[in-house]
A = this chain, B = another copy of it.
Amino acid sequence: IRRLLRGTALFVATAWGMGVAEPKKLIHGLKVGMALSLVSLFYYMRPLYEGVGGNAMWSIMTVVVVFEYTVGATLSKSVNRTTGTFLAGSLGVGVHWVASQSGDHLEPIVIGISVFLLASATTFSRFIPTVKTRFDYGALIFILTFSLVSVSGYRVDKLIDMARQRVSTILIGTSLCFITSMLICPIWAGDELHNLTHRNIDKLASSLEGCIADYFKGDSCDDNSKRDSSKEIQAYKCVLNSKPTEESMANFARWEPAHGHFSFRHPWKGYLKIGSLIRNCAYCIHTMTNCTNSEMQAPEFLKRQLQKPCMELCSRTSRLLKELAIMMKTMTRSSKLDFCLQEMNFAAQELQDALRSLPIKPEPMLRPAEDINHEKPETMAASHGPPLLEVLPLVTLVSLLIETAARIEDLIGG
C-alpha cells in the first residue's frame, strides 16, 4: 500500500509540475471539458434533442475523438471524419440498395462480401505513406461507417433518414470543436513548429558551448557546476529525435488559416529542411561529446595550446547560432548575421592555422635535447597522435557548422 501511495504522490507531483511548466496543456484540458459540456446541452434542451433524434450521442463521440491539442490537428481530423463518414455513408446506402434488389437469400452474402472487400482494401491502403500521413483517420472512419451503415441497414429500415441525422450530428460536433479550439486560447501547430525550431537552434548553441567548456576546463571545477553543465550538454539530445514531431506539426500546420505572422500558405516545408540541417549539427555534436569522453586524453600542454582558438571558435559559433535563433524567432533578417558569420569563419581559419603549426612546434623544443636522433620516430609520433585524434572532430564539426549556417542562410527569407 505504501508503494501505491508513493506512486500516486509521484504521479500527482509530475502532473502538477507539468501543469505549471506548460499551462497550455492545462488550458487544453479545460477546453475539452468545456466543449463536452456544451455538447451535452443537446441532450438537456428538449427541442434540439428531438431535432437530431437519439443520434445526439454521435456529437459527443465526435467531440471526444476529434478535439486535438493543436488547431491544425483538430481541423485535419474533423475534415477526415466528415469526408470519411459522408463517402462511406453514401457508398453504404448504395450497397444496401444493390443488396436489397438481389433477393432475401443473397442479401447478407452481398453485404458480407462488400464489407470484406472494402475493409481489406482500405486497411491495406492505410499502410501507403501518403494515406498514412494525411488520411489515416479518415480511412478508419470510412471502414467504420461503411460497415455500420451497410450492416445495420439490414435491420434499420429508415436508413437514409439515419444517415442524414448521423451526418448532421457530426457536423454539429465538428463545428463546436472548430469554435472552441480556434476562439479560446488557440494553440496553433504552426506556432509550435516555429517555437520548436528556434528553441532547437538555441539548444544546439548551449550544448556546443557547454561541451567545449567542459572539455577544456577538465577537473578544475566542482561537482555542482559540472552537473549543471552536463545538463546543458544533454540539451541537444532532444534535437536528435525531433523528426517525427516536426513532420506531424508541419502536416497539421498546412490546415491552419492565417494567424499571427503566418499567412495561409506559409512555406512549412522549409521548417522540415531547417530541421534536418539542425539535426545534422546535433549528430556532429553527439559524435564530438563521444570523443571528449573517450579514455584517450591529450597531454595537458597540447590541450592548453589549442584551448584559446577552440574556445574562440566555439563562442563565435554559438553566437552565430543564437543570432540565427533570434532571427528565426522574430522572422527578420538581422544585419548582425553576416558579421557573425565572418567572425566565425575567421576563427575557424585561426584554429586551422593553430592545428597546422602544432605538429611542427614541439620539434624545435625536442631537437636540442635529442640531437636530431632519427631512430625514435615512434615516440614523437605518439606525442603528436593523441591530441589530433581528439581535437580534429571539433574542426570537422566546425566546418560542418559553417556549411549548415550558410545553407540556413539560403533557406530563410522571412
Interchain CA distance A173-B355 in the complex, whole Å: 69
Chain B residues within 8 Å of A36, by CB: 115-116, 119, 143, 147
Contact between A33 and B119 (Cβ–Cβ < 8 Å)?
Answer: yes
Q: Mark A35-46, 1 if CB is under 8 A from B, else 0.
A: 011001001100
A82 CB to closest chain B CB, in angstroms? 18
Within 8 A of B (CB), among A122-174: 122-125, 127-130, 140, 143-144, 147-148, 151-152, 154-155
Name A72-125 residues within 8 Å CB distance of B.
108, 111-112, 115-125
A297 in contact (CB, < 8 A): no
Candidates B30, B64, B111, B244; contact of A147 at CB < 8 Å: B64
8 Å CB contacts to B: which residues of A174-232?
Answer: none
Contact mask for chain A residues 358-386; partner B; CB cutoff 8 A; 1 contact, 0 none:
01100010000000001001101110110
Q: Which chain B positions have C-beta within 8 A of A48?
A: none
CB atoms of B377 and A40 under 8 A apart: no
Copies in the complex: 2
8 Å CB contact of A60 from B61, B111, B151, B355: B151
Q: Nearest residue in B to A35 (C-beta to C-beta)?
A: B119
| A406 touches B (CB below 8 Å) | no
Q: Which residues of B contact A378 (CB under 8 A)?
A: 356-357
The one of B155, B243, B286, B356 in contact with A43, judged by C-beta atoms closer than 8 angstroms, is B155
Q: Of the 9-residue stretches A250-258, A265-273, A314-322, A392-400, which lies at the interface with chain B?
A: A392-400
Q: Which residues on the B side are within 8 Å of A57 (C-beta)?
A: 148, 152
Verify B60–A124 contact, CB threshold 8 A: no
Q: A57-B152, A60-B151 are in contact. Are A128 and B11 (CB under 8 A)?
A: yes
Knowing A36-B116, A389-B396 touch, does A283 contact B287 (C-beta < 8 A)?
yes
Q: Pick the contact of A359 from B108, B152, B384 — CB < 8 Å?
A: B384
A306 to chain B, nearest CB (A): 14
Interface stretch of the complex, out of A13-21, A328-336, A341-349: A13-21
CB-nearest residue of chain B relative to A244?
B244
Q: How far in angstroms is the closest Cβ of chain B from A360? A: 4
Instruction: Give chain B residues whose Cβ lies under 8 Å from the Cβ of A355.
Output: 385
Whether A299 is near chain B, meaning CB under 8 Å from some CB there, is: no
Most B CB atoms within 10 A — which of A60, A123, A130, A240?
Answer: A123
Check: A408 CB closer than 8 A to any chain B CB.
no
What is the minimal beta-carbon distance from A399 to any residue of chain B, in angstroms?
7
Is A291 positioned at the interface, with any CB of B under 8 Å from its CB? Answer: yes
Does A241 make an interface contact (CB < 8 A)? yes
Contact flags (1/0) for A284-302 with B, using CB distance below 8 Å? 1011001100101000000
How far, in whole Å, are A151 and B389 apart by their CA atoms in the complex? 69
Question: Does chain B have a CB within 8 A of A412?
Answer: no
Indicate whether A360 sits within 8 Å of B380 (C-beta atoms), given known contacts A36-B115, A396-B287, A399-B294.
yes
Chain B nearest CB from A261 CB (Å) reads 27
A15 to B357, CA, bound (A): 59
Residue of B nearest to A242 (CB): B241
Whole-angstrom CA separation of A166 from B399 in the bound complex: 64
* In the complex, residue of chain B having the shortest beta-carbon distance to the beta carbon of A67: B123
Q: How far is the CA of A385 from the CA of B354 in the complex (A)?
A: 11
- Complex Cα distance, B385 from A49, in Å, reads 81
24 A-B pairs in the complex with CB atoms less than 8 angstroms apart? A18-B127, A19-B124, A25-B127, A29-B119, A33-B117, A33-B118, A36-B116, A36-B119, A36-B143, A40-B151, A57-B148, A60-B144, A280-B290, A284-B290, A287-B400, A355-B385, A356-B381, A356-B382, A356-B384, A356-B385, A357-B378, A359-B381, A364-B374, A393-B396
* 6 interchain residue pairs of minimum CB distance: A33-B120, A29-B124, A356-B381, A33-B116, A29-B123, A33-B119
